[in-house]
Amino acid sequence: MRQRAARDQKRLDSGAVTSPKDLENLQHEIASLAKRQSDLEDVVLEVMERREAAQERVTELTGRVQSLQDRIGDTTARRDAAAGEIDAEVATVTKERGVIAGTIPADLLKLYDKLREQQGGVGAARLYQRRCDGCRQELAITELNEVRAAAPDAVVRCENCRRILVRMPESGL
Ligand SMILES: [Zn+2]
């Protein structure tokens, strides 16, 4: 377009075009080419501005992605560390349980394991202040008397939830 405008201008300046009608057409074309060039320059400017804004947004979003990835990395590392600690604790507790289970009579251990399975993981409960810590029910007075009368090594169970009751010395039972 610039070339065409320059060529038109050259023809105009050369004096080769003499007819007033042709001269007028040529001048008109030069003016319209200048107008289009100016319009296109405006478009180019606007496109460049939008491109710059888009690049700023890309930079900002890239930064946010990076910061989220950092946080994911930190959190994953913390989760893995916690899982490692939990695994180690499970191993220790399992080992301890094995040692204790070895000292309990087989039939009592069998009963305990059965109750534990039936009662959501808790097979034995403390009897504390007349209350079964397993089901939170207070024992009836007759039941309490039976527990009191039972031999120290007898297995007593909660009337309500059937769990093995562990008598605590401080509760006088
Ligand atoms: Zn109970």
Question: Quick one: pLDDT band at residue 18, thresholds 50, 70, 90?
Answer: confident
d(CA 123, CA 135) in angstroms, rounded, equals 11
Question: Quick one: pLDDT band at residue 172, thresholds 50, 70, 90?
Answer: low
The average pLDDT across 111-125 equals: 95
pLDDT tens for 43-67 read: 999 999 999 999 999 999 999 999 9
- How many angstroms is it from 31 CA to the middle of ligand 1? 101
Question: Quick one: pLDDT band at residue 171, thresholds 50, 70, 90?
Answer: low
Sheet of 164-167: strand order equals 131-132, 124-128, 164-167, 156-157
- How many angstroms is it from 43 CA to the middle of ligand 1? 83
- How many angstroms is it from 140 CA to the middle of ligand 1? 12
> Which range (58-67, 78-87, 100-109) has the least confidence?
100-109
DSSP conformation class of 153: T
The whole-number pLDDT of residue 37 equals 94
pLDDT tens for 21-49 read: 988 999 999 999 999 999 999 999 999 99
Q: Which pTM was predicted?
A: 0.53
Share the mean pLDDT of the chain. Answer: 93
Nearest to 125 by CA among 153, 162, 99: 162
Question: Quick one: pLDDT band at residue 90, thresholds 50, 70, 90?
Answer: very high
Half-sphere exposure of residue 158, counting CA atoms within 13 Å on the CB side? 28
- How many angstroms is it from 123 CA to the middle of ligand 1? 10
